[in-house]
Structure 1
Amino acid sequence: MSINVLLLAGGVGGAKAAQGLALTASEQDCHYNVRVIGNIADDEEFHGLWVSPDIDTLMYTLSGEINTQQGWGMKNDGNTVLSQLQALGEDTWMFLGDRDFATHIYRTQRRRQGIRPSQICRELCTAFGCPLPIILPSDDCIQTRLSTDQGELSFQQYFVRERCTPVVNAIEFHGAQQATPTPEALQAINDADIIIFAPSNPLVSIGAILATPGLRDAIAKSRAVRLAISPFIGGRTVKGPADRMLLAQGLDTSPLSIASLYDGLIDALVIDESDAGWLSAIEQRGLRALAAQTLMITDSDKRRLMDECLAFVEQMEVSP
């Protein structure tokens, strides 16, 4: 019998978790049917083209096209186009490689033709040979806006141009209140037997997905076993600004903060072995807890962690 697994994913951590699940699902005797809901709130227009950084990171990672050294962008890519744009006086702080430009050109052309973004995502995933379907939370435009000590910034301005240095005072998802969830996202949640929150930034990656009207409620009411993987190792992130952002919001970077942010949405929390001292406190909140090696460097690391998460969930289901 097939078990439906749904991953909520954003950023590099989400892409690594997706790859781990894809490696598991590739086995002939695998009984897991995996789908991924990605973050669209980092999307922004550059040089007249619509760029979807998190969705593309997922797509490139799953298809084996990711630049593994950067964690984003395409492997074996050049910067001829960007260099020429810079020579023409364009602002080029957002790096887009030559091969990467083709993805953005295709997406933008199809959007101008009135094609649903979800359909465009499916077309791109098929073209790249993605082993897992990537689902958009909404076909509407939702964009992260950060109120910082240097003014309002888009997420890409904060993350890429300013290198995460401004202090984030508040986070908003413009367009979220008016957005409609995709039927694919609602169906994936409804069908799920297991829902996994990837070790992504809970505020701006997973938070952006949950900001889409209807998705948080659907997950809260889901019959699935729901598990989150903490993005923190010893109170710090491996990559990205999640630790700094939580501290700026008055939260600490312990596993308990992750439990609080996902209150009512998860049944279990997986934390790193270095944070094992928090297991009892997590369980006192009514959650099941597991300490594991959560650092994902190699493909073997990614698969091992996701296999451990799946085995933990299945053990939960048979335990009294």
Structure 2
Amino acid sequence: MSNDRILALSGGVGGAKLVLGLSHALPAERLLVVTNTGDDFDHFGLRICPDTDTVIYTLSDLADRERGWGRAGESWGFMEAMRQIGGEDWFNLGDRDLALHVLRTDRLNKGSSLSAVTAEISDALGIKIPILPMCDQPVATMVDTPEGRLAFQHYFVRERCAPTVTGFEFEGIEKAQPNPAVVAALKENPAVIIIAPSNPFVSVAPILAVPELSNMLRKSGAPIVAVSPIVGGEALKGPAAKMMKELGMPASALEIARHYRGFIDGLVIDEMDAELAPAIADLGMEVEVAPTIMNDLNDRIELANRTVGFAARLSGGIER
């Protein structure tokens, strides 16, 4: 028998937006968030965890809503000083943001796990929802291009997603172990598993590539629903549509359905893509057509409610 907890897989800004909506639509004890750590990397000796930090800042109401990343009210004295002495300046680290990275790196160097540090920071910022990195072992998403392999942040930030993508590798994934708290939650049979509207190749795929995790997700018995990150043939944020085209795939919600076929039970697509619903249903999954563009908090809460309600119907009816 399932309990009433909901597990959300999140990566990037789109994922954090839906997580915020879920945090308002559900009691804190109902929600767990699994974050992608394939984006994590070391910079100036500091451990940076972009996707996890985006969720932390979003749920603590510290996120810069205009930029979509980092802290609000940020200053950039550190970066200005770094440029003055000839240091790399392709990845911006704000003065306030530095505190999180310095504390995390110090705790990791003293033997704490990434999960423990994330929980410590979340508690300090008043976040009641568990934020669970997919694993404590380092995993690095690498982007294959005709000019060679690039670390993800080099591709994404330094090169501004300009190189053509030919494939992806997740270095260290064979040594990764699923976050113990995620394993425990899955053994308790969550009611629903939601894949946020995140890039399927570099935000969701690393999570699912953690050994045995995708198998455990399916064996949990919970319906798995995804929200398409592609709307009207475009990604609302990030390079997902560009990647799909370069990999020889049409950039469409239907292709997202094909990508997740055999793993998810249902897909939420935008009203703009409503004509694709029959073709998606023909793939053997349920379809929910809803407004998926999240311009403000109300949009995020509405999409969260629609997604949970959709999943509830697939699971035979869980109560929100």
Please report the TM-score for the alignment, with normalisation by the length of structure 1: 0.95
TM-fit CA distance, 1:7: 0.3
Partner of 1:158: 155
**Where does structure 1 lack aligned partners over 5 or more consecutive residues?**
none
* 1:294 lines up with 2:278 in the alignment: no
TM-fit CA distance, 1:248: 1.5
Q: Deviations over 1:73-94 (max 9, x none)?
A: 0000100011111111100110
Partner of 2:20: 19
- For 1:21, give the aligned amino acid: L
Partner of 2:226: 228
Which of 195, 211, 214 lines up with 2:212 in the alignment?
A: 214
Partner of 2:92: 95
TM-fit CA distance, 1:316: 2.9
278-287 or 179-188, which deviates more: 179-188
**Where does structure 2 lack aligned partners over 5 or more consecutive residues?**
none
TM-fit CA distance, 1:163: 0.9
* 1:113 lines up with 2:113 in the alignment: no
- For 1:89, give the aligned amino acid: G
- Which SS does the other structure have where 2:30 is aligned? strand
TM-fit CA distance, 1:258: 1.4
Q: Deviations over 1:132-164 (max 9, x none)?
A: 110111110000011113322111111111111
Q: Deviations over 1:35-71 (max 9, x none)?
A: 0000101011111111001100010001000000011
Contact 1:219 1:265 in 2 (8 A): no
% identical aligned pairs:
39
125-134 or 112-121, which deviates more: 125-134
Partner of 1:48: 45
- Which SS does the other structure have where 1:204 is aligned? helix
In 2, the alpha carbon distance for the partners of 1:257 and 1:186 equals: 30
Contact 2:222 2:315 in 1 (8 A): no
Partner of 1:136: 133
In 1, the alpha carbon distance for the partners of 2:147 and 2:155 equals: 10
CA root-mean-square deviation:
1.5
**Correspondences of 1:150-299 after superposition (within 5 Å):** 150-191=147-188, 192-299=190-297
- Counterparts in 2 of 1:249 and 1:188: CA distance versus 1, 3 Å: farther
**How many pairs are equivalent?**
315
- Which SS does the other structure have where 2:5 is aligned? strand
- Which SS does the other structure have where 1:210 is aligned? helix
TM-fit CA distance, 1:230: 0.3
- Which SS does the other structure have where 2:143 is aligned? strand
Contact 1:62 1:131 in 2 (8 A): no
**Correspondences of 1:25-44 after superposition (within 5 Å):** 25-26=26-27, 33-44=30-41
In 2, the alpha carbon distance for the partners of 1:10 and 1:197 equals: 9
* 1:74 lines up with 2:71 in the alignment: yes
Q: Deviations over 1:243-268 (max 9, x none)?
A: 11112222212222212222222111
In 2, the alpha carbon distance for the partners of 1:155 and 1:143 equals: 8
In 2, the alpha carbon distance for the partners of 1:161 and 1:104 equals: 19
216-225 or 266-275, which deviates more: 216-225
- For 2:222, give the aligned amino acid: A
TM-fit CA distance, 1:310: 1.1
In 2, the alpha carbon distance for the partners of 1:260 and 1:184 equals: 30
Please report the TM-score for the alignment, with normalisation by the length of structure 2: 0.95
- For 2:124, give the aligned amino acid: A
- Which SS does the other structure have where 2:173 is aligned? coil
- Which SS does the other structure have where 1:168 is aligned? coil
In 1, the alpha carbon distance for the partners of 2:96 and 2:180 equals: 31
